[in-house]
Amino acid sequence: MHALSQAQTSFDHTAVQADHETVLVVDFGAQYAQLIARRVRELHVFSEIVPNRISAAEVAKRAPAAIILSGGPASVHVEGAPQLDAAIFNLGIPIFGICYGAQLIAQQLGGVVGRGMAGEYGRTQLKRFGDSLILPDDAPEYHECWMSHFDGIIEVPDGFVATASSPGAPVAVLENDERKIYGVQFHPEVVHSPFGMAAMARFVHERAGIGADWAMSSVIDRQVAEIRERVGDARVICGLSGGVDSSVAAALVHKAVGAQLTCIYVDTGLMRKGESEQVVETFRRNLGIELIHADEGTSFFEALAGLTEPEAKRKAIGERFIRVFEKHTGGLTEAKFLVQGTLYPDLIESGGTDGTASVIKSHHNVGGLPDDMELELIEPLRDLFKDEVRALGTELGLPDEMVWRQPFPGPGLGVRIIGEVTAERVAVLQEADAIVRHELHAAGLERAIWQSYAALLADVRSVGVMGDERTYGHPVVIRAVTSDDAMTADWARVPYETLEIMSQRIINEVDGVNRVVYDITSKPPGTIEWE
């Protein structure tokens, strides 16, 4: 049995640094530390997230061009709150602290962070004063930013100057250009801070002096080289779901090892209406990779029998996937590696890259794999976001019909049925979901919506009247969201006319459904999927 470890699945970042300057994003436990990394990449600079336990010696060995300290949920005053190795401040590497990161700079370098302050949450007026080397020159004296803090810096350390404040943050920006250390109390990485990206750009390009030379093509070159070196002449299996992530992962690995790759498309019985036929045809036509089509719906329904708890269903589906791979690789005795399309958001929602982030749900690629799995994982996309994966797919030459396919969870409709998953309930949901997709396409809304689907509340029944008769059927929930990266999402403002058509069609055409509701929950506090 091959042991699984992060070292086996992550990038070789020393190879990255040989070609490109790197920004290390130190994660202090915030769910959105990875959003900072993504924003840095939007500036065409490579970024890597590292745990806050990283030592000064490790940082020096990596030789990053800059360091960004993320926000975090803790107070700097709480016993056991994460700290930064103080020696890192003396390495001469430009440092930029955000929220908790800024407070940590102040506290660890001799400033004062107030305790139990009123705090600020959401849109806040920032007042700039004096010249700033971080705030962009065109930012007015008063402008909006996004805050999320309860403590606040009240005295800067020696050698620092404060260049902005807000009603709840006496020091909202602190700067020491001699030591190249800067901090902001607000969150520049979110779209609600209109001058935030410009502030990050000033730090990255001007204060740290990093050029904008990182591109998606470098990801391909690096991954191809790493995969070839690791795989050697061994056989590789890819678990193909038909979604964007697994398709791009398969194309990338195929570029590296060619005919050594065999893809297995597992028809779980939990796919959308007509999806299996479409996936097989599209994949064979565009990629020319050896493909095994495994029709395993019956076995998945058996594995899900009696399960109603979301985590139990996810884990059952994940384990069944692996057993199917093992079953269908009997003739591939030399198979050693399993390719999965795990993305960075999957890792974060499953507990983070080093376990510091909160577990929101076990992703099927992260928390649903059995302990006795004998295949070693290759996850070439695990440091990327969905939009970056799409860009990578386009760079690899995949057609739009694959690259722009809506995200679809690996567990399929199994996590869109609230309650026990049965073949009959899947059939009901397939019909309802097909109507939702058809009408959004007819309304020209597909590209404007990040993800849309129907969910079946199988454990709920409600009274209705159809044809002057009392009914007792299931509700269907329509979910549609807009997003850039799936880490945050807003409910889509679908026109009432389109919602009305979907509701009428579902109730009239789908047996067992007598009520349709529209989910207007954003993420956070909800997640995009229901389970």
Residues tagged active-site: 99, 187, 189
In whole angstroms, give the CA distance from residue 308 to residue 320.
Answer: 17
In whole angstroms, give the CA distance from residue 470 to residue 228.
Answer: 64
> To the nearest 10°, the Cα dihedral for 138, 140, 144, 148?
80
What tokens appear for 57 in the block?
């010696």
In whole angstroms, give the CA distance from residue 453 to residue 518.
Answer: 11
- The 8-class DSSP code of residue 157 comes to P
Q: What is the DSSP string of 377-405?
A: EE-TTTT--HHHHHHHHHHTT--HHHHTP
Q: How far is CA 43 from CA 160, 387, 446, 504, in A?
A: 27, 14, 28, 46
Q: Is the Cβ–Cβ distance between 349 and 363 less than 8 Å?
A: yes
User: Beta partners for 372?
Assistant: none
Listed in sequence order, the residues at least 6 apart from 337 whose beta carbon sits closer than 8 Å to its beta carbon are: 230, 231, 234, 235, 236, 237, 375, 376, 377, 378
Helix ranges (H only) for 294-413 are: 297-304, 310-327, 344-349, 386-395, 400-403
